[in-house]
Structure formats: structure tokens, C-alpha cells
């Protein structure tokens, strides 16, 4: 039997505000436990919440970027449940009148086709405290209690773990462009839960779903979904029922385990938060927020393709983060040739490699745009080899010097001088008679091996093009 997975994602984002959602406590990460608390976020009797305006603005910004309809009239509700990390015994959230509804996010499928995923709602709420479990006891830190959270709920419109991964990557990229959250899963500022059910291929009705929690990376989301598809398919094949429940991802054993049967909305006894008035969002307010939304990744990608002749693939890599996009665009604009391919190849090749291996953005490498362009020009004029240029780049990052100085200091200028190269070629041919035979027997690859030997002999300084020409001539005469 073949099944179609039906997946919906719930993403929780910490908004990057200075203070908490309903009080003036700091939101700074990593401070002394319970040092950022007050009567409001500790739920003392008689304390009153006041909504943080920046949290509301950030929430609206995300909702608009996700094409949601902003609700003119919105209110907060109490979601009641009892848990040690929840000092008030309720969480201020939004129930029937959320900030926004009915948006969508477009994700790129393999092959570049776009798929539109519905966004059911985007609403504001507050985070709970953090429990730290020890061997024989648990500790509680309330610094996190009251930090503004944005909940982004997708429709169950994703049909594979790969699509779920693409949705998360695309969403994260947009949020980073909006500059409203760190999106750091390790610090818990981006968290994701997933709903998943299976149905027979072609069937309309949804199957029974499980909710997956405690996935600490996008990779874990993908793995947990993959595991869950197999688990549910096995149950269905054996004609057993899938139980509606919440399951936790066990990262050690790579499996999901049952946590509890799923609560229904009525279990939370939602009712309107009496200490906060409803909010009316005027069209002027929405227009004002709209103006603060920058060009988003997808639009930027399309513009890079149109304006600079980049491929979709290259453009998508370069616009993944706003910092990289800005840095790349400056390099491409200032590169003087009409054909931007050489600078683009360096950006998505060696420069991105250096940034990835340092886990930083391109601009954080500390290399000036003009120096990068200078380096690419050296290669294009064939004054240094590609191999040598890569080592110059590493040196530029390490000692912050110009490419010209490094090339001179390290004596890396390319040998294009035919006379000296002829000598080197002669020696290498003498040392490798087998390769000459191979070449004559029709093995074209043998010539690349010989080029490699000469590059080695010259410490990467020989001009490979010239070497190849000499080799070809001498081998056909040999």
C-alpha cells in the first residue's frame, strides 16, 4: 500500500525585542537565572500586563511578509494549564481572533517549481520559563517567561520531509531579512513542532495525526518526519490504528516516543484576557508596517537573475541571508566586466567555502570588496593560477593584506614563460613514460595527470593552459 504523508508545521519564534511581551524585563540571552523577572512575568496577584508595541509591530511585519490578512480587531486570551514552568498557570496567547490569518509561503521544489503552502494563522503569545532537569531534581529559570513569541501555523499542505525542510529554510530566510528574530535553534529562539498523518494515495480525508516535538534542528525535523512516516505506514499495513498523540523526538535513538495523548482546545479553557483591551489595527498602521518590509529573498533572487545574468541556482545561494546578499551584490556591481560569471563563481565557490568553514557570513571574513575583485582580476589576467589564488584568499582572510602584496611576498606569480615551462614539461615526460604510452593508446586523461605533475613541481605556479598546450604539442610529436 502506498501512502501520502500530510504535514503541517508550527513554528515558534522569539521576537528580538529589548524587553518582554508584557513587562519591562530584559530579554537578553544567557544571563544569571531568574535575574530578569518581575511581578508581571512571575504572575504575582494584582500585577497587570502591558503589551510591548515593538512585539506587535514585529508580529505584523512577519504576518504581512507571509501574505496574511491582518485582523482589524484582535485580542488576547488566557490558555490555562498547570505546569511548573508557567508561573501564572496560564499563558497569554491568542485564540479566536489572532493577529492575522490566511497567508501563504511559496517554497521551491526540486527542479525549481514553486509550491504555495497555506499559512493558517500568525499570532502573538508569551514564552514559558525553562526547566533544567538534574539527576534527582529539576531547576527552573524564569528569565524566558514572558519573552514575546510569534506562532506561525501552516496548513497541512506539505507532503514530504524534504518539503518541510524547504519550508523551514525559506521561512527562516524571510524572518532574517525582516530582522525580527535571531532564529537560533540552539538558543531556542526558533522552535518547530510538526503534525503528520498518512492517507492512502488519492484519498481526500485526512488520517489520524501525531504531533512531533523536541526537534532541535531542521535536520532533526526531517529525520523525525521520515521515522514517523515509516512507523505509521507499518501500523496501517497491519490494520492497526494510529493513536492521536504527542510524540517526542529521541535524538539519541533516532525514533519518536509517545509523550501524552493529544489535548484538545477545550482542555485549555481559553477565555479572553481581562487585563488587556482588544486592539484595533487601523489601515494606516498596516500601511506604515508594510513600508518597513525590505525586498524579500525570492524577489531579490529574481532580480539577481534578471540584472546580473545569474543562474537561479547561484542567485538562490547568494540571497540566503541578507548579509550575504548585500555583500555579494556589492562585489557583483563593482566588478567591472559585463560578464559577471568570474566573480559569481568565486563568491559561490572559494569565498563561500571559507565562510562556511568559519561558520560566518561572507562579509564577516573581513576582506574588502575591492580586494576580492582584485584577486579575481589576477586570475582572469592569468597572472596567478586558480590554485595559487585560493591560497592567496586564505592568506587575505588571515592577515588582512591585499592580494598584490601577498602574491609578491609569496612569489606566487604564475609562470607563463614558455622557455622555463618547456624545461619542466621535458622533465615530467622523462619521469612518466607510462603516461606517454597511455596518451598514445587513446587515454586522453593521461594529459591531465601530466599537467598535475607539472603543477606540483612548480608549487601550483605554472599556467595550466600553457602547460597543456606544450604537452599536447610534444606528445603528438613524440
The stretch near Zn ion (CB under 5 A) out of 38-46, 73-81, 171-179, 322-330 is: 38-46
- The CA-to-CA distance between both ends of the chain, in Å, stands at 65
Kindly tell me which of 145 and 447 has the beta carbon lying closer to Zn ion: 145
The stretch near Zn ion (CB under 5 A) out of 31-39, 75-83, 105-113, 274-282 is: 31-39
Kindly tell me which of 25 and 92 has the beta carbon lying closer to Zn ion: 25
Q: Is 362 in the site for Zn ion (CB under 5 A)?
A: no
The rounded radius of gyration (Å) of the Cα atoms in the chain is 29
Which phi and psi angles does 199 have, rounded to 5°?
-140, 155
The least distance separating Zn ion from the CB of residue 62, rounded to whole angstroms, comes to 23
User: Alpha helices, DSSP H only, in 309-442?
Assistant: 312-318, 322-334, 341-346, 352-357, 369-380, 386-399, 403-409, 418-431, 433-440
Kindly tell me which of 40 and 225 has the beta carbon lying closer to Zn ion: 40
The least distance separating Zn ion from the CB of residue 145, rounded to whole angstroms, comes to 8
- Are 7 and 158 in contact by the 8 Å Cβ rule? The answer is yes
Kindly tell me which of 40 and 343 has the beta carbon lying closer to Zn ion: 40
The stretch near Zn ion (CB under 5 A) out of 35-43, 236-244, 254-262, 293-301 is: 35-43
Q: Is 367 in the site for Zn ion (CB under 5 A)?
A: no
Kindly tell me which of 23 and 196 has the beta carbon lying closer to Zn ion: 23
| DSSP structure class, residue 241 | P
Q: Is 25 in the site for Zn ion (CB under 5 A)?
A: yes
Kindly tell me which of 41 and 344 has the beta carbon lying closer to Zn ion: 41
* Alpha-carbon gap, residue 123 to 138, rounded angstroms: 31
Q: Is 41 in the site for Zn ion (CB under 5 A)?
A: yes
Q: Which position has the grid cell 484519498?
A: 203
Name the grid cell of 12: 515558534
* Alpha-carbon gap, residue 286 to 180, rounded angstroms: 17
Q: Is 119 in the site for Zn ion (CB under 5 A)?
A: no
Kindly tell me which of 39 and 366 has the beta carbon lying closer to Zn ion: 39
> Which 4-23 residues touch Zn ion, going by CB under 5 A?
23
The least distance separating Zn ion from the CB of residue 149, rounded to whole angstroms, comes to 15
Q: Which position has the grid cell 484582535?
A: 74
The least distance separating Zn ion from the CB of residue 44, rounded to whole angstroms, comes to 10
Could you give the 3-state DSSP secondary structure of residue 12?
strand
Q: Is 124 in the site for Zn ion (CB under 5 A)?
A: no
Which phi and psi angles does 371 have, rounded to 5°?
-70, -35
The least distance separating Zn ion from the CB of residue 95, rounded to whole angstroms, comes to 23
Name the grid cell of 399: 592577515
The stretch near Zn ion (CB under 5 A) out of 25-33, 68-76, 238-246, 265-273 is: 25-33
Residue 252's CB is within 10 A of a number of other CB atoms, namely: 5
Kindly tell me which of 275 and 383 has the beta carbon lying closer to Zn ion: 275
The least distance separating Zn ion from the CB of residue 45, rounded to whole angstroms, comes to 15
- Are 32 and 166 in contact by the 8 Å Cβ rule? The answer is no
> Which 399-438 residues touch Zn ion, going by CB under 5 A?
none
Q: Is 38 in the site for Zn ion (CB under 5 A)?
A: yes
Which of 45, 86, 62 lies closest to 11 in space, CA to CA? 62
> Which 236-295 residues touch Zn ion, going by CB under 5 A?
none
Kindly tell me which of 31 and 311 has the beta carbon lying closer to Zn ion: 31
User: Alpha helices, DSSP H only, in 74-127?
Assistant: none
Residue 60's CB is within 10 A of a number of other CB atoms, namely: 26
Reduce the secondary structure of 177-217 to three states and give it as a string: HHCCCCCCCCCCCEEEEEEEEEEECCCCCCCCCEEEEEECC
Kindly tell me which of 27 and 453 has the beta carbon lying closer to Zn ion: 27
The least distance separating Zn ion from the CB of residue 19, rounded to whole angstroms, comes to 8
The least distance separating Zn ion from the CB of residue 34, rounded to whole angstroms, comes to 11
Strand partners, 260: 246
The least distance separating Zn ion from the CB of residue 40, rounded to whole angstroms, comes to 5
- Which residues are at the interface with Zn ion (CB under 5 A)? 23, 25, 38, 40-41
Amino acid at each position: 500500500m502506498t501512502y501520502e504523508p500530510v504535514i503541517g508545521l508550527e513554528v515558534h519564534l522569539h521576537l528580538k525585542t529589548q524587553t518582554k511581551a508584557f513587562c519591562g524585563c530584559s530579554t537578553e540571552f544567557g544571563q544569571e537565572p531568574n535575574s530578569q523577572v518581575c511581578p508581571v512575568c512571575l504572575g504575582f496577584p494584582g500585577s497587570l500586563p502591558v503589551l510591548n508595541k515593538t512585539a506587535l509591530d514585529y508580529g505584523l511585519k512577519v504576518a504581512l511578509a507571509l501574505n496574511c490578512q491582518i485582523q482589524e480587531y484582535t485580542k488576547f486570551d488566557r490558555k490555562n494549564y498547570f505546569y511548573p514552568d508557567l508561573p501564572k498557570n496560564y499563558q497569554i496567547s491568542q485564540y479566536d481572533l489572532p493577529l492575522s490569518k490566511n497567508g501563504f509561503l511559496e517554497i521551491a521544489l526540486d527542479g525549481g517549481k514553486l509550491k504555495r503552502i497555506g499559512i493558517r494563522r500568525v499570532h502573538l503569545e508569551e514564552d514559558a520559563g525553562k526547566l533544567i532537569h538534574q539527576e534527582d531534581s529539576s531547576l527552573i529559570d524564569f528569565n524566558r517567561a514572558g519573552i514575546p513569541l510569534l506562532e506561525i501555523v501552516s496548513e497541512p499542505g506539505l507532503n514530504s520531509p524534504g518539503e518541510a525542510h524547504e519550508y523551514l529554510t525559506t521561512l527562516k530566510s524571510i524572518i532574517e531579512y525582516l530582522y525580527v528574530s535571531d532564529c537560533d535553534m540552539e538558543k531556542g529562539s526558533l522552535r518547530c513542532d510538526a503534525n503528520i498523518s498518512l492517507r492512502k494515495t488519492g484519498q481526500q480525508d485526512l488520517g489520524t495525526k501525531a504531533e512531533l516535538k523536541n526537534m532541535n534542528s531542521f535536520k532533526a525535523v526531517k529525520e523525525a518526519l521520515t521515522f514517523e512516516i515509516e512507523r505509521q505506514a507499518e501500523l496501517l499495513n497491519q490494520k492497526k490504528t494510529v493513536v492521536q498523540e504527542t510524540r517526542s523526538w529521541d535524538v539519541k535513538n533516532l525514533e519518536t516516543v509517545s509523550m501524552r495523548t493529544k489535548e484538545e482546545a477545550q482542555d485549555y479553557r481559553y477565555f479572553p484576557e481581562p487585563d488587556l483591551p482588544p486592539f484595533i489595527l487601523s489601515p494606516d498602521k498596516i500601511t506604515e508596517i508594510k513600508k518597513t518590509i525590505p525586498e524579500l529573498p525570492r524577489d531579490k533572487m529574481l532580480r539577481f537573475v534578471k540584472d546580473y545574468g545569474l543562474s537561479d541556482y547561484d542567485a538562490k545561494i547568494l540571497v540566503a541571508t541578507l548579509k550575504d546578499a548585500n555583500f555579494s551584490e556589492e562585489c557583483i556591481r563593482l566588478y567591472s566586466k559585463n560578464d559577471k560569471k568570474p566573480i559569481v563563481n568565486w563568491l559561490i565557490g572559494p569565498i563561500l567555502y571559507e565562510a562556511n568553514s568559519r561558520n560566518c557570513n561572507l562579509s564577516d571574513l573581513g576582506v574588502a570588496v575591492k580586494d576580492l575583485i582584485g584577486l579575481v582580476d589576477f586570475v582572469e589576467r592569468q597572472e596567478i593560477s586558480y590554485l595559487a589564488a585560493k591560497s592567496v584568499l586564505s592568506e587575505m582572510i588571515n592577515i588582512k593584506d591585499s592580494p598584490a602584496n601577498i602574491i609578491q611576498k609569496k612569489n606566487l606569480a604564475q609562470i607563463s614563460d614558455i622557455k622555463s615551462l618547456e624545461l619542466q614539461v621535458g622533465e615530467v615526460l622523462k619521469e612518466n613514460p607510462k603516461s606517454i604510452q597511455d596518451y598514445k593508446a587513446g587515454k586522453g586523461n593521461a594529459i591531465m595527470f601530466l599537467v598535475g605533475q607539472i603543477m606540483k613541481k612548480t608549487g601550483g605556479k605554472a599556467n595550466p593552459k600553457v602547460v597543456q598546450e606544450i604537452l599536447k604539442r610534444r606528445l603528438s610529436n613524440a
